[in-house]
Amino acid sequence: MELWDYERQAWNSGAETVCGVDEAGAGPLMGPVYAAAVILPRELDIPGLNDSKKLTEKKREALYEVITTQAVSWSVARVEAWEIDEMDILNARMLAMQRAIEGLSVRPDTAFIDGNRDHGSRYAIETPHQLIVGGDGKSASIAAASILAKVSRDRYVSGKLDAKYPQYQFAKHKGYGTKLHYELLDQYGPCPEHRRSFLKKWEAKRHG
């Protein structure tokens, strides 16, 4: 299967504009979850385009510039840590993706959503859409969205949040539950950017 096959199927079915949507940051212990929505020009050749998780940081950064320069429309949105705690990560993911779609300057006829979930208990993808499991490796539009979401979140965590809370070394682990991160949590305790809903593992580890 080629990266444009899903888009071609949608175009052949009458959709004029198709956007890919993906999120980044569902698993970390801290910070916001990000989502991106991207509408690419039809059949645009972007050498190296792939699932962001399969790319090096340097390659993601380079592709970010290509995608944001050449996309018909793109949008990045986020749901903050405190919002995640108020709902849950599934609802936060849905909200972030819908916010990203709504941020596009061009209204898509349909959206390709990475994964197998399109709703939580409070929020859902409201735009006409298709779920594609593993879509970031199957759809050019979703692959592009995965790169924008990942790079945007990494820049924020490694830049602003790392500078604000240098003791946690967020730039090194991006907020994921690594050994280093847990050691720093043991030493300093959580900061305001840590998701309380994700600290149960850490607390269980400390008292277990």
User: d(Cα 175, Cα 31) in Å, to the nearest integer?
Assistant: 7
Is residue 26 within 8 Å of residue 197, measured between CB atoms?
A: no
- Residue 3 pLDDT class (50, 70, 90 cuts): very high
Give the chain's length: 208
- Residue 199 pLDDT class (50, 70, 90 cuts): confident
Give percent above pLDDT 70 in the chain: 97
The pLDDT, as a whole number, for residue 51 is 87
Comparing 50-54, 140-144, 163-167, the range with the smallest average pLDDT is: 50-54
- Is 23 marked as binding a ligand? yes
Residue-wise pLDDT tens digits, 4-37: 999 999 999 999 999 999 999 999 999 999 999 9
The pLDDT, as a whole number, for residue 18 is 98
- Residue 47 pLDDT class (50, 70, 90 cuts): very high
- Is 85 marked as binding a ligand? no
In the chain, the amino acid numbered 57 is: E
- Is 193 marked as binding a ligand? no
Cα 164-91-196 angle, rounded to 5 deg: 40
The pLDDT, as a whole number, for residue 44 is 95
Dihedral sign for Cα atoms in the order 101, 92, 130, 38: positive
Cα 103-106-110 angle, rounded to 5 deg: 90
Residue-wise pLDDT tens digits, 104-156: 999 999 999 999 999 999 999 999 999 999 999 999 999 999 999 999 999 99
CATH of 5-207, one of 2.60.120.260, 3.90.110.10, 3.30.420.10, 3.40.50.970: 3.30.420.10
- Residue 203 pLDDT class (50, 70, 90 cuts): confident
- Is a pLDDT exceeding 70 seen at residue 1? no
User: d(Cα 137, Cα 92) in Å, to the nearest integer?
Assistant: 23
